[in-house]
């Protein structure tokens, strides 16, 4: 037994030893990897990036930056490289002593120091790249500034007339930039690249603004001397022509406002001469706003007149038609009120419409009177155009509806009388057919229905004799009677059909009575039901009887009867 225990212990010891040796191998590889990384960061080409600065003037700011970047890199490299090396050496010893946990900590510490070196390298190279890029941009802006300066100077000398009184101030401003360009070169020669870049950036943007101002000044002068005075004249003469055509434009106050605008316009050229362009632009913007407002008001007056001219004939027709129809309605109402019942609200509407139409005509006449004056402010009366058109149209439509109702009264009266005559004729015809049919006796229901129809007819005839006649009531009453008549007719013809078919079925079945006792019994039952006025049931019994001896014969008889 103890032998097996010993073997198991030996196996455990071997396995444990193998695991330890494996872990030591893994940790050793990790340490070697960190050594490789440390070697790589120690070989980073920072000096190659730094040496680029020697292409510039290493004085002043440039010298300071060069020394700071070099010192910062050396300090970082020496400090963190030493810390990383020590940590890796200690980690290596820990592995040899199988202190894997402590080895991992030292290995991670070394990795942190290596990362700090890499991070510092990236940071410093980015700063160097930013510096060189800024220097190149400064050189480009310096070249562009010299070009803008030369072009501005040449433009003033060659085309000074287009700048007017602003020529001399522009020459002074341009001349002031001559020493500015030289200042940049001195700063660069002194190695003060940062100050030089800031200086040339401001100078470049000032020259761009100067160029924009020089482009704008001739336009401003042209606008002040030609374009706006021309617009003033066009507006003034245009308004005079409109007044001659009958427009009232006093509310726009064109002359007063133009006088004020002209005074403001006179302030612009001195401002342009002093290069105070922002204030000059502000005044011109206000002038344009005032002109736009006046043009808009004038256009509103022209549109108002066009709208008035376009709607005048329509309103005239609408008012004429509404007034003529109102007179017709009042005449018709007076005539038919004795014959027919008319809703009092319709009568009152027609009377009210007469007053409304007169009011609309009064408003319209006032508008016409205004337009017949020497001058007319169309914007003050044009709002009434839509009011008149809409109201006149509404009145006309509603009066048409009332007129249609009055016409319908006569038509409904005639229709009701015609339907009543139809009921009387049909009632008598159906009743005669019932009496001459093969019915044993006339069923009670038809006597009752005939009586009810006759009562309704008599009542309706009495209503027709009344004055004024309520057509709607009489029409509804007649329609109800027509429905009752239709029911009377349908049921009567249904009973007569059943009775005649029953006779035919019994006659057809008589040929089988002597040979079929069951059929004979059924036909006897059908005859009994027939005598009791139970025609529907008698028909069903007779049909079943002959179908039992000759299938299909009942349907054939019924089809022949319906076709005849």
Tens digit of each residue's pLDDT (9 = 90 or more) over 437-464: 887 788 888 888 888 888 888 888 888 8
- DSSP summary character for residue 550: S
> Within 13 Å and on the Cβ side, how many CA atoms surround 505?
39
Res 187: pLDDT: 78
Phi then psi for 43, rounded to 5 degrees? -95, 5
Nearest alpha carbon to residue 347 among 406, 303, 387, 293:
406
Position 427 pLDDT exceeds 80: yes
Contact 368, 443 (CB under 8 A): no
Query: What is the distance between the alpha carbons of residues 225 and 262, in angstroms, rounded to a whole number?
Result: 11
Position 176 pLDDT exceeds 60: yes
What distances in angstroms separate CA 81 from CA 45, 103, 104, one per listed residue? 15, 18, 18
Position 160 pLDDT exceeds 80: no
Nearest alpha carbon to residue 410 among 468, 352, 477, 366:
468
Query: What is the distance between the alpha carbons of residues 434 and 491, in angstroms, rounded to a whole number?
Result: 11
Contact 543, 561 (CB under 8 A): no
For the chain, which residues make up each domain, given as ranges?
25-132, 301-414, 437-563
Helices (H) and strands (E) in the chain, counts: 19, 0
Radius of gyration, CA atoms only, the chain = 59
Q: Which H, E and C letters describe 136-155, residue by residue?
A: HHHHHHHHHHHHHHHHHHHH
Q: How confident is the model at residue 6 (pLDDT cuts 50, 70, 90)?
A: low
Interacting residues of 446 by C-beta distance below 8 A, sequence separation 6+: 431, 434, 488, 491, 492, 495
Give residue-wise pLDDT tens across range 240-260. 888 888 877 778 888 888 888
Query: What is the distance between the alpha carbons of residues 527 and 524, in angstroms, rounded to a whole number?
Result: 5
Res 22: pLDDT: 47
Strand partners, 376: 247
Contact 236, 258 (CB under 8 A): yes
Q: Is 98 left (phi over 0), alpha (psi -120 to 50) or beta?
A: left
Q: How confident is the model at residue 225 (pLDDT cuts 50, 70, 90)?
A: confident
User: How does 347-360 read in b/e, with b if 16+ C-beta sit within 10 Å?
Assistant: bebbeebbebbeeb
Strand partners, 340: 469
Res 96: pLDDT: 63
What distances in angstroms separate CA 58 from CA 104, 193, 200, one per listed residue? 46, 10, 20
> Whole-model pTM?
0.51
Query: What is the distance between the alpha carbons of residues 223 and 283, in angstroms, rounded to a whole number?
Result: 12
* Long-range contact set of residues 183-187: C-beta below 8 Å, sequence gap at least 24: 184/138, 184/142, 184/145, 185/142
Position 18 pLDDT exceeds 70: no
Tokens of 88: 């890796």
Position 4 pLDDT exceeds 70: no
Strand partners, 469: 340
Tokens of 469: 């006649």
Res 442: pLDDT: 81
Query: What is the full DSSP assignment across 319-388?
Result: HHHHHHHHHHHHHHHHHHTTTB---HHHHHHHHHHHHHHHHHHHHHHHHHHHHTSSSB-HHHHTHHHHHH
3-state secondary structure of 56: coil
Q: Which of 281-295, 328-342, 430-444, 511-525 has the highest mean pLDDT?
A: 281-295
Q: What is the mean pLDDT of the segment spanning 116-136?
A: 77
Contact 254, 235 (CB under 8 A): yes
Query: What is the distance between the alpha carbons of residues 462 and 468, in angstroms, rounded to a whole number?
Result: 13
Class of residue 270 by CB neighbours under 10 A (exposed 0-12, middle 13-18, buried 19+) = exposed
Give residue-wise pLDDT tens across range 344-362. 777 788 788 888 888 888 8
Res 215: pLDDT: 76
Q: What is the mean pLDDT of the segment spanning 73-83?
A: 73
Q: Which residue has the higher pLDDT, 281 or 200?
A: 281
What distances in angstroms separate CA 377 from CA 142, 245, 409, one per listed residue? 64, 12, 49
Average pLDDT value over all residues in the chain:
78
Neighbours of 335 (CB within 10 A): 11
Q: Which residue has the higher pLDDT, 59 or 458?
A: 458
Query: What is the distance between the alpha carbons of residues 407 and 328, in angstroms, rounded to a whole number?
Result: 12
What distances in angstroms separate CA 525 from CA 196, 502, 506, 515, 528, one per listed residue? 134, 12, 11, 17, 5
Contact 250, 196 (CB under 8 A): no
């Amino acid at each position: 037994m103890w032998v097996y225990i010993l073997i198991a212990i030996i196996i455990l010891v071997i396995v444990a030893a193998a695991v330890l040796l494996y872990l030591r191998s893994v940790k050793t590889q990790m340490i070697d990897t960190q050594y490789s990384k440390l070697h790589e960061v120690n070989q980073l080409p920072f000096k190659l990036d730094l040496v680029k600065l020697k292409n510039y003037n290493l004085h002043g700011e440039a010298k300071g930056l060069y020394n700071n970047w070099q010192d910062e890199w050396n300090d970082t490299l020496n400090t963190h490289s030493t810390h990383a090396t020590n940590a890796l050496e200690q980690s290596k010893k820990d592995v040899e002593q199988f202190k894997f946990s402590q080895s991992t900590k030292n290995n991670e510490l070394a990795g942190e120091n290596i990362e700090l070196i890499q991070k510092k390298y990236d940071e410093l190279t980015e700063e160097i790249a930013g510096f060189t890029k800024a220097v190149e941009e400064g050189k480009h802006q310096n070249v562009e500034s010299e070009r803008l300066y030369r072009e501005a100077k040449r433009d003033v000398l060659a085309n000074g007339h287009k700048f007017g009184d602003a020529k001399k101030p522009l020459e002074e401003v341009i001349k002031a930039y001559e020493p500015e360009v030289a200042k940049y070169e001195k700063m660069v020669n002194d190695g003060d690249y940062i100050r030089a870049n800031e200086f040339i950036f401001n100078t470049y943007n000032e020259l761009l603004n100067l160029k924009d101002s020089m482009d704008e000044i001739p336009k401003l002068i042209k606008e002040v001397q030609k374009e706006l005075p021309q617009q003033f004249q066009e507006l003034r003469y245009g308004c005079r022509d409109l007044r001659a055509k009958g427009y009232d434009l006093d509310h726009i106050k064109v002359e007063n406002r133009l006088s004020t605008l002209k005074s403001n316009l006179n302030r612009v050229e001195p401002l342009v001469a002093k290069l105070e362009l922002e204030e000059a632009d502000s005044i011109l913007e206000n002038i344009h706003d005032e002109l736009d407002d006046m043009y808009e008001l004038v256009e509103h007056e022209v549109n108002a007149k066009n709208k008035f001219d376009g709607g005048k004939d329509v309103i005239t027709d609408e008012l004429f038609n509404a007034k003529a129809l109102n007179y017709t309605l009042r005449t018709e109402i007076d005539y038919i009120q004795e014959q027919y019942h008319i809703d009092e609200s319709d009568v009152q509407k027609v009377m009210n419409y007469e007053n409304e139409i007169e009011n609309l005509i009064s408003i319209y006449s006032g508008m016409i009177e205004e337009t017949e004056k020497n001058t007319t402010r169309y914007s003050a009366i044009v709002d009434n155009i839509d009011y008149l058109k809409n109201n006149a149209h509404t009145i006309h439509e509603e009066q048409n509806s009332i007129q249609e109702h009055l016409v319908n009264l006569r038509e409904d009266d005639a229709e009701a009388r015609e339907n009543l005559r139809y009921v009387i004729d049909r009632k008598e015809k159906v009743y005669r057919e019932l009496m001459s049919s093969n019915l044993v006796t006339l069923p009670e229901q038809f006597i009752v229905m005939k009586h009810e129809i006759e009562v309704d007819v008599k009542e309706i005839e009495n209503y027709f004799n009344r004055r004024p006649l309520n057509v709607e009531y009489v029409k509804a009453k007649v329609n109800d009677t027509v429905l009752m008549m239709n029911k009377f007719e349908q049921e009567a013809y249904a009973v007569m059909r059943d009775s005649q078919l029953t006779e035919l079925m019994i006659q057809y079945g008589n040929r089988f009575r002597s040979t079929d006792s069951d059929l004979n019994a059924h036909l006897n039952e059908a005859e009994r039901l027939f005598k009791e006025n139970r025609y529907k049931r008698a028909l069903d019994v007779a049909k079943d009887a002959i179908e039992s001896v000759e299938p299909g014969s009942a349907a054939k008889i019924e089809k022949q009867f319906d076709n005849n």
